[in-house]
Amino acid sequence: MANVKLLLQESIKNVGRVGDIVEVSPGYARNYLLPRGMAVQPTPNNVKKVEARRKEIERQERERRRDNHARSERANSTVHLALRSSTNGWYAPSSLESNMNTLKRSALGFGIVAGLAALAGGHPYAQAPAAAPPDYSKVEIQTTQLAPNFYRFEAVGPVLVGNAGAWVGPDGVFMVDAMFAQLNDKLVAAVKKVSDGRIRYLVNTHHHPDHTSGDPNFGAMGVAILSRDELRAHLASGNNPTPAAGLPIITYKGPVTLHMNGDDVQLIPIMNAHTDGDTMVYFPKADVIMTGDFYRSIQYPNIDRNNGGSLKGMIDGLNAVVALAKPSTKIVPGHGPVVDKTVVAANIDLINTIRTRVAALVAQGKTQEEVIAAKPLADLDAKVQQVGTTGDRFLGQVYAELKAGK
Ligand SMILES: [Zn+2]
């Protein structure tokens, strides 16, 4: 059979670089490249999308080489970075999320994720196109009890994974977010340790795969999945859409309340913040708020502008958290440790400071590269945990937002 032409979504050793159109055997395409989202049909639209990412990866490589140079002169910070990566897993890769997101659910830990992990470790991407996929077997789920009937689950290991939560009681378990499919057995085992295992509902805070790719596993268990309309639309589309069993069966536009376990769970849509499908989840009696990724207590913020996220929406969302939370409320971010409202309020201040500084540079007519090169966050890095390259990522996002007049 004749070879087929495909557009590479990531660099693959002996095949090509991200953005290349290559000829491969139909079997390789059908059984390997396409199902894993490593390549797509070379339609004009796909070519445009992948080209943008290739440019971004090349820009990161240049930055990385510059950073490495600077880092080699500051051995301490290199050691620090290495320690963080081994104890807390990879939170650092710049634009990991937006890449995963462009790939939708397809990368799921292959290629791009590994490649960017390698990048964050200081290796130019070109030298690590065939890096091993992240080893999910090394991920451990740690359970923290936040209230008599509420538990937070954190994945600790070599993979970036969003926090999950479970609210347990006589009416069954209500879950927030599903982590990666590869971690489903471990997550379900952790939930069973703290409940009778009758998981009845699952709400997704947003569509990124480290929060939703376990959905089909839960769907297959008979769990009713809930989400915003926009979130379901993301999961149902893309190169590698979620199978029907994993799609939310209950969707909503406005706030939703579920009455169970003697309490009211409130699902509160947050408009155009991290993405266009964010939901904040509030458990009044347990005194817990789960935010998804419009708030994270590690790294600089991350706005997925390609999927409807916005700076204004993110600030509005953070203000909504501060308004809703009591001083005692435990706030579970999309990523990072549990915090209280004072920490979220400080995050709003941080974002406003950054916005003001970037706005001044935009007003001077600076390009995005010039803004990043000016290092306007240098004095703020100490306030942020696990900065990695997320400062530059956020600068780029704020620049684009302000440039677009938002
Ligand atoms: Zn996310």
CATH number, domain with residue 246: 3.60.15.10
**Is residue 155 domain-shared with residue 281, that is, in the same domain?**
yes
**Is residue 287 domain-shared with residue 151, that is, in the same domain?**
yes
Instruction: Give the residue, 31 or 139, on which the prediction is more confident.
Output: 139
**Is residue 197 domain-shared with residue 264, that is, in the same domain?**
yes
Among candidate residues 72, 106, 127, the one where a domain is terminated: 127
Residue 32 has what pLDDT? Answer: 60
Among candidate residues 284, 317, 340, the one where a domain is terminated: 340
Question: Does residue 163 lie in a domain region?
Answer: yes
For ligand 1, the distance from its centroid to the CA atom of residue 92, given in whole angstroms, is 14
For ligand 1, the distance from its centroid to the CA atom of residue 106, given in whole angstroms, is 15
For ligand 1, the distance from its centroid to the CA atom of residue 60, given in whole angstroms, is 20
**Is residue 214 domain-shared with residue 336, that is, in the same domain?**
yes
Residue 24 has what pLDDT? Answer: 75
Question: Does residue 222 lie in a domain region?
Answer: yes
Confidence of residue 111 (pLDDT cuts 50, 70, 90): very low
**Is residue 198 domain-shared with residue 226, that is, in the same domain?**
yes
Confidence of residue 244 (pLDDT cuts 50, 70, 90): very high
Question: Does residue 225 lie in a domain region?
Answer: yes
Mean pLDDT of 7-24: 73
Question: Which of 38-42, 47-51, 101-105, 160-164 reaches the highest mean pLDDT?
Answer: 160-164
**Is residue 73 domain-shared with residue 182, that is, in the same domain?**
no
Q: What digits encode the pLDDT tens for the residues 55-102?
A: 666 655 555 555 544 443 333 332 233 323 333 333 333 334 444 444
**Is 32 exposed, middle or buried, given 0-12, 13-18 or 19+ CB atoms closer than 10 A?**
middle
Residue 97 has what pLDDT? Answer: 46
Question: Which of 140-144, 157-161, 235-239 reaches the highest mean pLDDT?
Answer: 140-144
Q: Which of 118-122, 148-152, 329-333, 351-355 has the lowest mean pLDDT?
A: 118-122
The Cα–Cα gap between 278 and 206 comes to 5
For ligand 1, the distance from its centroid to the CA atom of residue 175, given in whole angstroms, is 17
Average pLDDT, the chain: 83
**Is residue 31 domain-shared with residue 117, that is, in the same domain?**
yes
Question: Does residue 47 lie in a domain region?
Answer: yes
Question: Does residue 383 lie in a domain region?
Answer: no
For ligand 1, the distance from its centroid to the CA atom of residue 302, given in whole angstroms, is 8
Ion ligand 1: residue ranges with CB closer than 5 A: 208, 293
Question: Does residue 368 lie in a domain region?
Answer: no
Question: Does residue 360 lie in a domain region?
Answer: no
Mean pLDDT of 148-152: 97
**Is residue 273 domain-shared with residue 336, that is, in the same domain?**
yes
Give the structural domain span for 42: 4-127
**Is residue 185 domain-shared with residue 333, that is, in the same domain?**
yes
For ligand 1, the distance from its centroid to the CA atom of residue 293, given in whole angstroms, is 5
**Is residue 261 domain-shared with residue 335, that is, in the same domain?**
yes
Among candidate residues 127, 158, 186, the one where a domain is terminated: 127
**Is residue 150 domain-shared with residue 97, that is, in the same domain?**
no
**Is residue 110 domain-shared with residue 179, that is, in the same domain?**
no
For ligand 1, the distance from its centroid to the CA atom of residue 3, given in whole angstroms, is 37
- Residues written for the chain: 406
> Residue 17 belongs to a domain with what CATH number?
3.40.5.10
Domain tally, the chain: 2
Q: What digits encode the pLDDT tens for the residues 368-385?
A: 999 999 999 999 999 999
For ligand 1, the distance from its centroid to the CA atom of residue 243, given in whole angstroms, is 20
Q: Which of 59-63, 286-290, 314-318 has the lowest mean pLDDT?
A: 59-63
Question: Does residue 268 lie in a domain region?
Answer: yes
